């Protein structure tokens, strides 16, 4: 299974696929998983 988008929904789908025993590849455009659901603070 290839999951495109490592946001909250993509992480959920990828997790579910691996729990079902599927080989899973998660692709995201950012270096940080969770994309806009993540909090990033710059000082």
Strands (E), 5-43: 25-27
**Residue 24: closest CA among 6, 39, 40:** 6
Q: What is the pLDDT of residue 25?
A: 96
Q: What is the pLDDT of residue 22?
A: 97
Question: Scanning the structure block, which residue is given the tokens 């929904």?
Answer: 9
- Residue-wise pLDDT for 1-43, tens only, equals 999 998 889 999 999 999 999 999 999 887 777 766 666 655 5
Q: What is the pLDDT of residue 33?
A: 74
Backbone angles phi, psi at 30, to 5 degrees: -100, 160
Backbone angles phi, psi at 28, to 5 degrees: -140, 155
Question: For the whole model, what pTM was predicted?
Answer: 0.73
Question: Scanning the structure block, which residue is given the tokens 């079902």?
Answer: 20
Cα 35 from Cα 28, distance rounded (Å) = 8
């Amino acid at each position: 299974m290839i999951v495109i988008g490592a946001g909250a929904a993509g992480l959920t789908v990828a997790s579910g696929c691996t729990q079902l025993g599927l080989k899973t590849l998660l692709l995201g455009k950012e270096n940080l998983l969770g994309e806009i659901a993540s909090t990033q603070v710059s000082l």
